[in-house]
Copies of this chain bind each other. A is one copy, B any other.
Amino acid sequence: MAKKPPAPRLSDDQLFDWLRLIRSENVGPRTFRALLNACGGARAALEALPDLARRGGARRQIRVATTDEIDREFALARKLKVRFVALGEADYPPVLRQIDSAPPIVALRGREEALQQPAVAIVGSRNASAAGLTFADRLARGIGQAGYVVVSGLARGVDQRVHVASLATGTIGVLAGGHARPYPEEAIPLIERIVEHGAVISEMPIEWEPRGRDFPRRNRIVSGLALATVVVEAARSSGSLITARFALEQNRQVFAAPGSPLDPRAEGTNELLKQGASICTSADDVVTALAPTRPTEMFAALDDGGGAGEPLWGEHAILGVDPDTIPRTTPGEELDEAVGAAYVASDRLEAARDRIVALLGPAPITLDNLARAAEASARDVRVALMELELAGRIEFSGGDRVALKPADEAERSSPP
C-alpha cells in the first residue's frame, strides 16, 4: 500500500453523468459498462439511451434520471457526509472492482481507508443460536486481529454481532437501500458507530427504500468486497447462501462453520460443506488459507497506472475496459463505431437482435450458447443484449446467463 501509484479520478461533470446514467431506468452495472463501451462515455450514453431502448423494443419512453434528481442526490449526500467513489478511482475498493457486476459508483459514509484493506465477509442467520452468535463474535475478533476488515450486511443476528465485534479493528456494512433510508432501523445506532470506525456503503439511490430483491443484489457486494466469505449459521434457504453463491461466482473462497446435523440452523452451512466449502471452526482456518493472497503487492497490482489524479479525457480507461470490446471500424464493415463515437445502429445488428429475441425464452441460457445459436459476433450479441436490457425485456442471472422476462414483469418499472 505504501507506494501505490496515483490513480485517475472523474471530473465533477463526469461523476454527475455517471451517477445520472446508473440512476436511469434499466441501467444496471453490466449495462452501464456496455453503454460506456458502445458510446465512449456516460454523457454520450445518456443521449443515446432513449434511442437504444426503443431499438431494444421498449414499448414506452425509457426514464432517464433528471439533472434535478441528481442535484438532489448530491445535496443530500453532502448533508449526510456521503462521498461517491467511481469504479477505477483510487478510493474504489480494489477487490470489489474485480467482480463482473461491480457497482459503477459506491456511495460511502465513514473512513474510506477501510475500503483499501484486505477484507473477509462474515454472514449468517438473523435468528442465530446463542452458540452461533458467540462463534460469530469470536471469529470476527480473530479475523480482525489478523488485519482483515470484516464485511457484513447489517442484519439482525450474526451480521450485527460481527460488526460490533470488529468495530475496533475495522468493519464495513453494506446497505441494501440508500444512505438516507438506513435499514434495518434498529441498526441505526450501530451504523453510526461503524461510520466512526469503518465504513457503510451503498450502491443505491440515496433515498432508496430497500425491497426484497435488493438484498440478494446487495449480497454480491458483501462477498465482492472480500477475499473470502464465511457463513456462520444458515438454514436451508437462507440469504447467506446467496452471498456464498456470489462469492463462488466471484472466485472467492467460501468457508462455512459446521453444525449438528440435527440443527436446522446448520442445514445451509452443512450443505455448503458438502458442496466443497472449506470448514471453518476458528479464525485461524480463514487467516491461514488467505495468507498467500495477503501481500500488499496484490492490491497495488489491482490499481491502474493512470494519470496523477487528474481528470481523465475518456472513461474507458477508468473502467479498465478491454479495448477489444470497444466497437471500431473493421475492414468490410460500413459502420462507424470508433472509440468515443456515439453508438451507431446497423441492419446487421438489427437482424442479430431479432434472431436473439427469437432464441430467448424464460429459461436462462449462456451468452456463449446464445451467440452460437444466433450466428452473431460476440460484439453484436453484447450490443443487442444491452438494448434489450434497456428496454427491460431481459434479465441476467449468474453473470453469464440471460433469459426473457415474463411479459408482465417487463412492464413493471425496475429500480430507479
| Residues of chain A whose beta carbon lies under 8 Å from any beta carbon of chain B | 131-132, 134-135, 257-263, 266-267, 270, 273-274, 279-282, 285
- A238 shortest CB reach to chain B, Å: 16
Interface pair A266/B258, CB less than 8 Å apart: yes
* Distance in angstroms between the alpha carbons of A279 and B281 in the assembled complex: 14
Query: How many identical chains are in the complex?
Result: 2
Closest residue of chain B to A278 (Cβ to Cβ) is B274
Sample 5 A-B pairs with CB under 8 A, ordered by A number.
A135-B261, A257-B261, A258-B258, A258-B270, A259-B259
Interface pair B274/A279, CB less than 8 Å apart: yes
Interface pair A270/B281, CB less than 8 Å apart: yes
A262 contacts across to B, CB distance below 8 A: 131, 134-135
- A257 shortest CB reach to chain B, Å: 6
Closest residue of chain B to A273 (Cβ to Cβ) is B279
A135 contacts across to B, CB distance below 8 A: 260-262
Closest residue of chain B to A259 (Cβ to Cβ) is B260
A285 contacts across to B, CB distance below 8 A: 274
Interface pair A258/B273, CB less than 8 Å apart: yes
- A305 shortest CB reach to chain B, Å: 42
- A76 shortest CB reach to chain B, Å: 43
* Distance in angstroms between the alpha carbons of A131 and B280 in the assembled complex: 21
* Distance in angstroms between the alpha carbons of A219 and B208 in the assembled complex: 62
A134 contacts across to B, CB distance below 8 A: 262
* Distance in angstroms between the alpha carbons of A299 and B282 in the assembled complex: 43
A282 contacts across to B, CB distance below 8 A: 261
Closest residue of chain B to A271 (Cβ to Cβ) is B281
Closest residue of chain B to A269 (Cβ to Cβ) is B258
Closest residue of chain B to A280 (Cβ to Cβ) is B261
- A245 shortest CB reach to chain B, Å: 18
- A284 shortest CB reach to chain B, Å: 11
Interface pair B261/A260, CB less than 8 Å apart: no
* Distance in angstroms between the alpha carbons of A134 and B258 in the assembled complex: 18
A274 contacts across to B, CB distance below 8 A: 279, 281, 285
A267 contacts across to B, CB distance below 8 A: 281
* Distance in angstroms between the alpha carbons of A178 and B282 in the assembled complex: 43
* Distance in angstroms between the alpha carbons of A262 and B257 in the assembled complex: 10
**5 shortest interchain CB distances as A-B pairs:** A258-B258, A261-B281, A273-B279, A131-B262, A270-B281
* Distance in angstroms between the alpha carbons of A274 and B257 in the assembled complex: 11
- A111 shortest CB reach to chain B, Å: 31
* Distance in angstroms between the alpha carbons of A132 and B261 in the assembled complex: 9
Which residue of A258, A267, A280 has the most chain B CB atoms within 10 A of its CB atom? Answer: A258
Known: A131-B262, A258-B279, A260-B263. 12 other contacts (CB 8 A): A132-B260, A135-B261, A257-B261, A258-B259, A258-B261, A258-B266, A258-B270, A259-B259, A261-B280, A270-B281, A273-B273, A274-B281
A260 contacts across to B, CB distance below 8 A: 131-132, 135, 257-260, 263, 266
* Distance in angstroms between the alpha carbons of A135 and B260 in the assembled complex: 9
- A343 shortest CB reach to chain B, Å: 51
- A409 shortest CB reach to chain B, Å: 37
A259 contacts across to B, CB distance below 8 A: 258-260
- A241 shortest CB reach to chain B, Å: 15
A131 contacts across to B, CB distance below 8 A: 260, 262-263
* Distance in angstroms between the alpha carbons of A279 and B259 in the assembled complex: 11
* Distance in angstroms between the alpha carbons of A28 and B375 in the assembled complex: 72
- A233 shortest CB reach to chain B, Å: 9
* Distance in angstroms between the alpha carbons of A263 and B273 in the assembled complex: 18
